[in-house]
Chains A and B, each alone.
Chain A
Amino acid sequence: MSSMIGVEFIKFRRSWMVWLIGIVPFAFCTLLGLALRFYLQTNHTPEQGWGLIFTLVSRFLWQVIAFTVPIFTSYLVSMEQLSNTWKQIFVMPLAKWKVYLAKFFWALIFTLVMGILFVLGVYFICLFWDIEHLVTINQLIFRVYSPFMLAIPYISFQLWISMVSRNQTTPIAIGIAAIILAPVFKNWGWWTPWGFWSTFLPAEPTSYQALFMEKTTSALDGSSLLLSVLFGAIWLAIGVVHFYQKEFN
């Protein structure tokens, strides 16, 4: 298994994908920083600025994840598709599930590393504008990192679609559709990859006063994290089974 993971790493290590993991958080955090700068310069208190940061994070971060996860999974799969090497891989003494899991591993790592960069980015913005004393690590994990942890079922689902699609138009289109499917499936469709995510995502803060309350109480909910892993495993298993049955041209 470790050799499969190593092989995948060799395939992408010098690609633009590695840069994308850094560029997306950088661009997002730069825009957040600009918004905060404008806000603080227009007679708003640091507390209000702090509220703005987490409101914007709640409103837009999940959409950024919804866009980037399909890109990660499509990229990991497109290398085999473009070079038409699926058949060559299958004639080698390699278990198909190992090929599949290695791709899942890297899609997950890409997403989680991007999450860490987002957390650092948001912290640095707060540090730069002298509002870091308002932010706690609990809150950063709860508001900024948990959307990435809760995206595990979504990653598994997108990887499944990417692995069994002949070209990557369909998985990317489905990924884009997530920005509408997530709110549509919220609560009633919690078991779907989009509904799971939107149902368990931290709600947008109602006010910056509410954030003060949250500073001590908020933490990553263990049960929703476990559910995320469980549903991720279910979608992964479905994907592996489908991948085994799929005929590649």
Chain B
Amino acid sequence: MVTLLKIEWLKTRKTNIWWLILLLPLLPITYGVLIYVKIMTETNHYLSTNDSLTAWGMTSFFYPTIFFPVLSGLLAANVCKVEHEGNNWSKILTYPISWKQFYLSKFLWLTILLGLTQVIAFLEFAIAGWVSNFDSAFPWLIMIESIILGWFGALPLIALQLAISAHWGNYTKSVVFSVLLALPVFLIVGSKKAYWIGYFYPWSLPAMGMTKIMEKNPSIADVLLNPFLLVNIGWLLLSLMDGLYYFIKQKSDH
């Protein structure tokens, strides 16, 4: 598995996905912090109990709802693009490599990339807060929880997007699919009445992890018993197993 991960690294290290990982989180984070500092604080004289938390709330309008799911779709499409372009699927699958391991290594590589994205987002937000001279203490624990739960919420989505990208040879098609299905997240997560729909919609799980759980500031027990975690695990198993099944079935038919 480690060798397969190294191969994935070799395939992607000279692509432009690293710029995406760096810049796509930076944009909503800078925007969220700017909105908080320039509009909420300087213009409307809003008094917050914790600057960082409120600024992170502003960032959450765009980052976990649109940019993060779209980024995961772009990464999944890129990871499969290399194989589609060179018609590598058939070649690799004739080598003595376990198909299951090959597919899972791609999934694992994507989870690592999205984990890295979250770490970068966290650092970018911390730097943006430091540059903006936030007075209150940085809420390390809540921020780390939010980042981890957002990443955890993205796992079923990655599994689903990997299945789609591996299935469709057309790179644009799989990206379009991911982009368009990210659009309703905005409405689902923003609505109090339709929030429950988010549990049935994998694109909204990262946002649910990053925002709602953070707002309630729960204990570990609350987090573990939260339907979010159970639903997430359910979706992850379903997406991963289905994806793997269809991957093996499709590639065997070729």
Q: Chain B binding site: helix, strand, loop or mixed by DSSP?
A: helix
CB-CB contacts of A171-185 with B at 8 A, as 1s and 0s?
A: 011001101110010
B175 touches A82 (CB 8 A): no
CB-CB contacts of B17-33 with A at 8 A, as 1s and 0s?
A: 10010011001100100
Q: Is B180 an interface residue (CB 8 A)?
A: yes
CB-CB contacts of A61-72 with B at 8 A, as 1s and 0s?
A: 001100100010
A169 touches B74 (CB 8 A): yes
A173 touches B74 (CB 8 A): yes
Chain B contacts for A82, CB-based, 8 A:
170-172
Q: Is B173 an interface residue (CB 8 A)?
A: yes
**Closest A residue to B20 using CB positions:** A173
Chain A contacts for B62, CB-based, 8 A:
179-180
CB distance from A196 to the nearest CB of B (A): 19
Chain B contacts for A180, CB-based, 8 A:
27-28, 31, 62
A168 touches B27 (CB 8 A): no
Q: Identify which of residues 28-78 in chain A touch chain B, using a CB-to-CB cut-off of 8 Å.
A: 31, 63-64, 67, 71, 74-75, 78
A16 with B173: in contact, given A169-B17, A173-B74, A177-B27 (CB under 8 Å)? Answer: yes
**Closest A residue to B81 using CB positions:** A167
CB distance from A35 to the nearest CB of B (A): 9
B171 touches A168 (CB 8 A): yes
For the complex, give the distance between the alpha carbons of A173 and B17 in Å. 10
For the complex, give the distance between the alpha carbons of A67 and B177 in Å. 12
For the complex, give the distance between the alpha carbons of A95 and B184 in Å. 42
CB distance from B189 to the nearest CB of A (A): 14
Chain B contacts for A119, CB-based, 8 A:
none
Number of chain A interface residues as a range: 20 to 34
A173 with B24: in contact, given A82-B170, A179-B62 (CB under 8 Å)? Answer: yes
Q: Is B159 an interface residue (CB 8 A)?
A: no
For the complex, give the distance between the alpha carbons of A78 and B171 in Å. 8
Checking B16, B31, B180 against A169 with a beta-carbon cut-off of 8 angstroms, the contacting residue is B16
CB distance from A209 to the nearest CB of B (A): 25
Chain A contacts for B170, CB-based, 8 A:
78, 82
For the complex, give the distance between the alpha carbons of A170 and B17 in Å. 9
A20 touches B24 (CB 8 A): no
A67 touches B180 (CB 8 A): yes
Q: Is B118 an interface residue (CB 8 A)?
A: no
CB distance from B197 to the nearest CB of A (A): 12
Q: Is B67 an interface residue (CB 8 A)?
A: yes
A169 touches B176 (CB 8 A): no
Q: Is B179 an interface residue (CB 8 A)?
A: yes
- B interface residues, Cβ below 8 angstroms from A: 16-17, 20, 23-24, 27-28, 31, 62, 66-67, 70, 74, 77-78, 81, 170-173, 175-176, 179-180, 183-184, 187
- A interface residues, Cβ below 8 angstroms from B: 16, 20, 24, 31, 63-64, 67, 71, 74-75, 78, 82, 167-170, 172-173, 176-177, 179-181, 184
18 contacts between A and B (CB under 8 A): A16-B173, A31-B187, A67-B180, A74-B172, A74-B176, A75-B172, A167-B16, A172-B74, A172-B179, A173-B70, A173-B74, A176-B66, A176-B67, A176-B179, A179-B66, A180-B27, A180-B28, A184-B31
Known contacts A75-B172, A169-B74, A179-B66; 14 additional CB pairs below 8 A are A20-B176, A63-B183, A64-B183, A67-B179, A67-B180, A78-B172, A82-B171, A167-B78, A167-B81, A167-B171, A169-B77, A173-B20, A176-B66, A180-B62
Q: Nearest 3 A-B pairs (CB), nearest first? A: A78-B172, A180-B31, A71-B176
